[in-house]
Copies of this chain bind each other. A is one copy, B any other.
């Protein structure tokens, strides 16, 4: 067990969070030591319910799940996106009920795990950054105990999606995101620059639907709602792989072909760029000189399509 990477997973489950969770649970080099939830695709309590039910379906009830922040640092949670993730966050599929969340909130769980796995714990955060910011505020020593933070979030050279400038996970809580990038840990940003280019096709979804496994068939059913939404966006029945791609980068299963280490700041003003991730990519013009404050890795390209690898991993996930 000593070679396994201990991972705290922060999510707003969510359909692509579902893919990310099952993919993460299937990684042979990772031990998921705790999960926190945050409002985003759905509210934090519903995200915990979905996560617990999925863990039961995957035979992993022992993984502790803590409910995290319902509201963002400066704004109240305004409700989810039922047209994307379904009313319940998992495409309106009714899952068998799993276990119950642990006592304490997600920030408490993260801080406790950071002490238990000091220097080794990795954070993978695929929802708004609120829990991480709350934990940083509650324990100023936290950042020094974390090996790396990998997030699904932001857009360096790509358009936003929540607004012209802001990707949704960053844009929902810019103040929390700024705290995460300002903290003394290295962040790997897996944003719209890459996640929009990696897809699961309807043919791949049908392979899940045709599986003998209940987990695989359930995932296929959950994906239906997501595909309906993305059909209107992409003009083809497939979906982007935001959250699972961030997991794959964190676990070393997706290798970026271009990922400069630069300074990243989050715009927290009230103007049109609120929620923008301002990455100092002027090195693209200047032959990459050192930049003051450069600490974060911004993933700009991943050449190999991640969909086939994700599908193989989901299909291979063992029945409990």
Contacts and interface: CB of A to CB of B under 8 A. Distances in A.
Contact of A272 (B157, B158, B159, B267): B267
Contact of A267 (B158, B269, B282): B269
Nearest to A276: B273
A52 to B, nearest CB: 32
Interface string A280-319: 1110111100000000000000000000000000000000
Interface in A257-279: 263, 265-273, 276, 278-279
Nearest to A280: B164
A233 interface: yes
Nearest to A240: B285
Contacts of A282: 159-161, 164
A133 to B, nearest CB: 17
Given A270-B269, A276-B165, A159 B284 contact: yes
Interface string A238-254: 00000000000000000
A112 to B, nearest CB: 33
Nearest to A270: B269
Which secondary structure dominates where chain A touches chain B?
loop
Interface in A71-122: none
Contacts of A265: 164, 271-272
A4 B255 CA distance: 55
Given A235-B287, A285-B196, A271 B267 contact: yes
A276 B274 CA distance: 11
Contacts of A263: 164
Interface string A141-168: 0000000000000000111110011000
A287 B236 CA distance: 11
B267 A273 contact: yes
Given A267-B273, A276-B165, A159 B287 contact: no
A111 B266 CA distance: 39
A164 B267 contact: no
Nearest to A174: B271
A157 B164 CA distance: 11
B164 A278 contact: yes
B165 A285 contact: no
Given A233-B286, A235-B287, A285-B233, A273 B165 contact: yes
A273 to B, nearest CB: 4
A157 B160 contact: no
Contacts of A158: 157, 284
Contact of A269 (B233, B271, B280): B271
Contacts of A234: 285, 287
A159 B157 contact: yes
A278 B165 contact: yes
Given A165-B278, A234-B285, A272-B278, 18 more contacts: A157-B159, A159-B279, A159-B280, A159-B281, A159-B284, A159-B285, A160-B282, A164-B280, A165-B276, A196-B285, A233-B287, A265-B271, A265-B272, A266-B272, A267-B276, A268-B271, A269-B273, A276-B276
